[in-house]
């Protein structure tokens, strides 16, 4: 079946969310991935929203983390402090984050571009809860287009910590041992992180994408898995559920 880049990225992300795990998501592609996972692969996946919705069975795509749909048939209608405390207690397996820049160690910038904090070239919304989520959830994932401006050797501001400067840096900063960036899913490939160096390592390239194109769209040198594979395209079942149940109005998958 034909599919677009967004449908591919959402489908790939959904496969990492196993049953009985907990994920904090925002709106957009991460929410679509969690909904798809819950409907196709992981019916006991626990979805949480920053504004307080815990364990909803989402009837349709919410437009914000405070949308009433994020509480639909949920276990708890809580608050932001309770959700963040749950992360701090080490109970949350996954989170999805986004940003304007990301470096080889998975540090994310969603604050500013430029060198002067008071007068940046561009100012973005900032952290919200992203720093807390990146600090205390066990595995951080990102769904994003890939280009050299976004994947840059040196980001202008660390909003959300990845592996900071490399091995041991998260632990030295007081963050939970074993936590950190997990997967970056782009329109070109799926990227993990090397266990020893904590740098980005390409695990699979998408169908029809050559290694050279990935390199051209990255502003630093990537590591490559020895067992590099081709990403599995969306299945007919994934596309059907995604198009008919998760995002029938194509709010998200129509952006490709």
- From residue 143, alpha-carbon distances to 44, 69, 102 in Å are 22, 23, 12
| CA pseudo-torsion sign 163, 167, 223, 11 | negative
* Residue from 50, 46, 47 nearest 79 by CA: 50
The answer to whether 50 is a known catalytic residue is: yes
DSSP H helices in the chain: 5-14, 29-40, 80-88, 130-136, 169-172, 211-216, 236-241
Only one residue has tokens 């067992």, namely 227
Catalytic residue among 50, 85, 212, 216: 50
Where b means 16+ CB within 10 Å and e means fewer, 220-230 reads: eebbbeeeeee
In the numeric block, the tokens 């994947």 are attached to 151
**Catalytic site positions:** 50
């Amino acid at each position: 079946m034909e599919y677009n880049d967004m449908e591919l990225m959402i489908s790939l992300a959904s496969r990492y969310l196993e049953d009985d795990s907990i994920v904090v998501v925002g709106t957009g592609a991460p929410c679509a991935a969690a909904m798809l996972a819950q409907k196709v692969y992981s019916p006991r996946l626990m979805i949480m929203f920053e504004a307080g919705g815990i364990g909803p069975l989402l009837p349709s795509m919410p437009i914000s983390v405070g949308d009433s749909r994020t509480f639909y048939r949920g276990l708890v209608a809580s608050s932001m402090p309770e959700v963040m405390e749950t992360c701090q207690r080490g109970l949350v397996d996954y989170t999805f984050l986004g940003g304007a820049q990301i470096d080889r160690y998975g540090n994310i910038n969603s604050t500013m571009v430029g060198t002067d904090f008071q007068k940046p070239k561009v100012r973005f919304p900032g952290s919200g809860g992203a720093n807390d989520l990146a600090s205390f959830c066990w595995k951080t994932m990102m769904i994003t287009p890939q280009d050299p401006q976004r994947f840059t050797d040196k980001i202008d501001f660390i909003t959300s910590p990845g592996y900071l400067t490399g091995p041991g840096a998260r632990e030295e900063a007081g963050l939970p041992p074993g936590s950190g960036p997990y997967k970056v899913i782009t329109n070109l490939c799926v990227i993990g992180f090397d266990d020893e160096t904590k740098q980005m390592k390409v695990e699979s390239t998408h169908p029809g994408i050559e290694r050279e194109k990935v390199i051209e769209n990255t502003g630093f040198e990537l590591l490559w898995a020895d067992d590099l594979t081709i990403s599995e395209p969306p299945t007919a079942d994934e596309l059907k559920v995604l198009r008919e149940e998760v995002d029938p109005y194509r709010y998200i998958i129509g952006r490709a």
